[in-house]
Structure 1
Amino acid sequence: MRFWLFPFLAIAIWAGNVVVSKMASGAISPLAITFYRLALAISIMSLFIAGPVWKNRVQVKRYWPKLMFLGFLSMAFYQCLSYWAADTSTATNMAIITALTPLLTMLVSSLVLREYPTVGMVLGGAIALWGTAYLISGGAPLELIKGNYRIGDVLMLTAAISYAFYSVLLRKWQIALPAWQSTYMQAISALVFMLPMFLWVPKGQAMLDTATIPLILYAGILASVVLPFFWIKGIEYLGPNRCSVFMNLLPVMTAGLAIVLLDEHLKAYHVMGGGIALLGVFIAQTWRGRFFARRSVSSEPLSGE
C-alpha cells in the first residue's frame, strides 16, 4: 500500500508546479524560467548521474538524436507553453487540461503505433472533448465558434498534446537506457535548445530576485528532480496504467492550492466541465473493449522502426 505514495506525492508536487507557473506569470519570462529550471536540475542530477552516463557514453551516443527530440518536446516546448499559458489561463483550467494527457496519449498512440482504439477511448474521448469545450468556454461551448476563448487554455492544450506525442515516441523508440540517464540527457538536450532563446530575453525579464528565485528552486528541484523520482518509482512498483489514474487528482489538488494561494474562485463551469472531462478520461482508461478484433497477421514491423 505504501507504494501508492509515490505517484500521489508526484501529483502533489505537479499541482504545486502548476501554481508556481501561475505565480511566475509576469514576474519572469517563460523562456528564462525554463532555462533556469533546466540548468538547476541538470546541476543537481549531475552529482549522481554524470558518472554513469559517461561510462555508458557509447549507448548514449547511439540514441542522442532521439534523446534531443524527446528533450525538446517534454522539457523545452511543453514547459515554455505551460508558462505562456499561465499568462491568460487559470491554474485550475491548466490542471484540468493537463489531466487530459493520458487520454491524448492513447489517441496519439492509436495513430502513431497503429493500435486499434477501444470503446472506452472513443466514448471517453467524446465525453472529455465536450467537457473540455465547456471548461475553456466558461460554460458556453457555442462561444468557441465565435472565437471566444482564453488563448492560455489553447496553449495548455497544445502543450498536453505535445507531451502525449512525447510519451508515445518514448514507447515507440524503446530507448535502451536507464530512466534517470534518459531523463538527464533529455534535460541537457532541452537546455541546448533553450540557450539561444534565453540569450534573446531582455535583461529585465530574466531577473533573479526574491520573487523569482523561490519559483525557480521549486521548478528546478522539486518539479524537475524529486517529481520524476517519485513517478519513476511509482511506475516501477505499480506500473504505468495504475499510475496514470492518479492524474485525475491533479485538478483537485491544484484547485485547492489555487484557492488558498492565488485567490482563484472555483466556479460552476470548473466543476461541470472539469468533472465531465475527467469522467471521459476515466472511461478511456478503464473500458478496454475493442471495436474490432485485432488482426492475426500483425507481426510486421511498423514503418520507420
Structure 2
Amino acid sequence: MSAPPSAIKSLATGLFANPYLLLVLTTAMWGGHSVVSRMAVGEISPASLTCLRWLIVASIMLSLRMQGLREHWPALKPRIGYLALMGALGYTSYNILLYWSAYTTTAINISIINAAMPAMILIGALLVFGQRVTVLQWIGTVVSMAGVVLTGAKGDLQHLLDLTISRGDILILIAVILYSGYSVLLRTRPLVPSLVFFAALTPAALLSSFVPLAFEIAAGDFYWPSGKGWLLLLYVAIFPSLLSQIFFIRAVELIGAGRAGLFTNLMPLFGASFAILILGEELALYHVVALVLVLGGILLAEWKRQ
C-alpha cells in the first residue's frame, strides 16, 4: 500500500524544517557525486555530463515551477545578472572542474579537499558581509583545513615543499573556492521561494555549460555517453543536481551560509566510504587522520550551538 498524501506532505514538511537532516542528506549525495565523477571517466565526457545534467534539471524545474516564475518575475527580472553569475559560478564551473579533476586524482582526495569549503565560506562571509565568526568556528576551520592540507600532501609535507600536488587536487580546490562564493552570495538572493529561485538558476547553469562543451568539441574530446554513462548521468541529475541543491538552499535559509557550510565537512566521510566500497580505493593512514581532523573541526565549530 502506498502512503497517503497527507503522510507524505507531513514528512516533507518535517524534512524541510530540519536543517541538519537536510545537510546530512545533501553531503551524502555530494559524497556520492565524488565517486560518480571517477566512475564517469571514459563513460561520458566531462562537458557533456555537465551540459546534459543541467538540461535534465532545467526541464524538470521549468515544467514544475513555470507558474511560480511568472508570479515572481518582477522580483527576478532586476537580478538577471546575479542569477546568471550564480548559475555559472555555483553549478557549471564547479561541475566541470570536478569532472576534470577526476582524471588525475582519486575520489577520496576529491571528497576530503571539498572540506575546504567551510573555511572558504566563513572567510567569504566575513569579508563580504562582516559576518561575525566565533573563536570555536575559527579553530574548527583551522583543524578542518589541516586535514585538507594533509590530504593534498598525501601524508607527506615534503610533497608540499616539492610542489608535487596533483593537477586534479588543484582543480577541485578551485572548484571549492567557486562554490564557496556561490554559498556566500546566497545571502543576497531575491526574496522568492526556494524552489522558484532554484528554477531560475537552472537555465543559467544550462546556458553557461555550453561554453566548456564548445571547447571540448573543438578539442576533439567530446563523446556521447555509454550505457553506463547514461545511468551515471541520471544519478547526477536527480541527486547532486536537483535534490541536494534544493536541500542546501533551504538549509542556508534556516541557519545561514556559515553554519550550513560547516556541514560539508561530512562529505569526506561519505565520499571516502563510497570510494572504498564501490571503487575499491585504498584508504591510507593519512586519509584516516584527515577525516578525523575535518570531522573534529565541524564538532568544534558547532559545539556551543548544540
TM-score (normalised: structure 1): 0.84
Cα distance, 1:119 vs structure 2: 1.8
What is residue 139 of structure 1 aligned with on the other side?
A: 155
For residues 143 and 284 of structure 2, the distance between their equivalents in structure 1, rounded to whole angstroms, comes to 20
Match of 2:201 among 176, 186, 200: 186
For residues 26 and 123 of structure 1, the distance between their equivalents in structure 2, rounded to whole angstroms, comes to 41
What is residue 161 of structure 1 aligned with on the other side?
A: 177
For residues 243 and 169 of structure 1, the distance between their equivalents in structure 2, rounded to whole angstroms, comes to 13
Change (3 A) 1:70 1:207: same
For residues 106 and 239 of structure 1, the distance between their equivalents in structure 2, rounded to whole angstroms, comes to 13
In structure 1, runs of 5+ residues without a counterpart are: 289-305
For residues 128 and 14 of structure 1, the distance between their equivalents in structure 2, rounded to whole angstroms, comes to 18
Cα distance, 1:5 vs structure 2: 4.2
Q: How does 1:68-147 map to 2 (within 5 A)?
A: 68-147=84-163
For residues 131 and 206 of structure 2, the distance between their equivalents in structure 1, rounded to whole angstroms, comes to 33
What is residue 273 of structure 1 aligned with on the other side?
A: 290
For residues 243 and 124 of structure 1, the distance between their equivalents in structure 2, rounded to whole angstroms, comes to 14
Contact 1:32 1:198 survives alignment (8 Å) = yes
For residues 189 and 250 of structure 2, the distance between their equivalents in structure 1, rounded to whole angstroms, comes to 19
Change (3 A) 1:164 1:200: closer
Amino acid at match of 2:94: Y
Contact 1:26 1:87 survives alignment (8 Å) = no
Cα distance, 1:209 vs structure 2: 2.5
TM-score (normalised: structure 2): 0.84
Q: Output the aligned Cα RMSD.
A: 2.4
Q: Partner of 1:112: helix, strand, or coil? A: helix
User: Deviations 1:14-67 (Å, cap 9, x if unpaired)?
Assistant: 222121111112332221111010001111112211221123222211111111
Contact 2:263 2:298 survives alignment (8 Å) = no
For residues 282 and 160 of structure 1, the distance between their equivalents in structure 2, rounded to whole angstroms, comes to 21
The answer on 1:251 being equivalent to 2:268 is yes
How many residues end up aligned between the 2 structures? 286
What is residue 263 of structure 1 aligned with on the other side?
A: 280
User: Deviations 1:138-195 (Å, cap 9, x if unpaired)?
Assistant: 1111321211112211211111111111111221x24222211211221211211122
**Identity in percent:** 30
The answer on 1:221 being equivalent to 2:231 is no
Q: Partner of 1:212: helix, strand, or coil? A: helix
What is residue 29 of structure 1 aligned with on the other side?
A: 45
Amino acid at match of 2:98: S
Cα distance, 1:88 vs structure 2: 1.4
What is residue 207 of structure 1 aligned with on the other side?
A: 224
Q: Which moved more, 1:35-44 or 1:49-58?
A: 49-58
